Chains A and B, each alone.
Chain A
Amino acid sequence: KAGVTQTPRYLIKTRGQQVTLSCSPISGHRSVSWYQQTPGQGLQFLFEYFSETQRNKGNFPGRFSGRQFSNSRSEMNVSTLELGDSALYLCASSLRGAAEAFFGQGTRLTVV
């Protein structure tokens, strides 16, 4: 059974640009969550999608957005990139009603 797949693994962008990260959940998982990991702030929840609907949102500015497609794949978008957006972005998927989340390997975004 394939795990959670995040693409790309590494990304370098310039300040002011926008970026889209992709997450393919484990087959059958319909819940997808996104987290940002930085040395200073640690792991912080961005948002969670279930059946194409955002169910939970963390405390991030509106430049951070996401969506989920009918096949449960999810994308997150960051517009007008800032240096502080440099981080490891992790995606996690889970079954409906399950407490356990499975994480992908992450996308490391560097903003220069």
Chain B
Amino acid sequence: AQSVTQLDSQVPVFEEAPVELRCNYSSSVSVYLFWYVQYPNQGLQLLLKYLSGSTLVKGINGFEAEFNKSQTSFHLRKPSVHISDTAEYFCAVSANLIQGAQKLVFGQGTRLTINP
């Protein structure tokens, strides 16, 4: 079974400052890793994903994440945040199963608040 821990429930940051949202996972099998963003009263939008290959993954809206297998981490970073980045961010993992069976396990979420 897989599990995901997002280490911070809330992260306040000033506009144009850098931010890192932390995510650790555990799994006994190889996994795919994802970061999703959720704006108020909306569904989830995929920011980026790690399936294999390069451990540094670039996503939309200037976000990037680094897969660290030895530390079982997949932290999300942005060098300079904007007010519009205020949202809830979810780290998720799915087992690398045959047929691409979809069963995402999510962390509890990190609420990112950008202050002017």
Contact = CB atoms under 8 A, between A and B. Distances in A.
Nearest to B100: A97
A52 to B, nearest CB: 15
A99 interface: yes
Interface string B26-66: 00000010101000011111100101000000000000000
Interface residues of B, number: 26
Contacts of B90: 43
Interface residues of A, number: 30
A50 B99 contact: yes
A64 interface: no
Contact of B106 (A4, A43, A56): A43
13 contacts: A35-B104, A42-B107, A50-B99, A56-B101, A56-B103, A92-B104, A99-B32, A99-B51, A101-B46, A101-B104, A103-B43, A105-B43, A108-B41
Interface of A: 4, 6, 31, 33, 35, 42-45, 48, 50, 55-56, 58, 90, 92, 94-106, 108
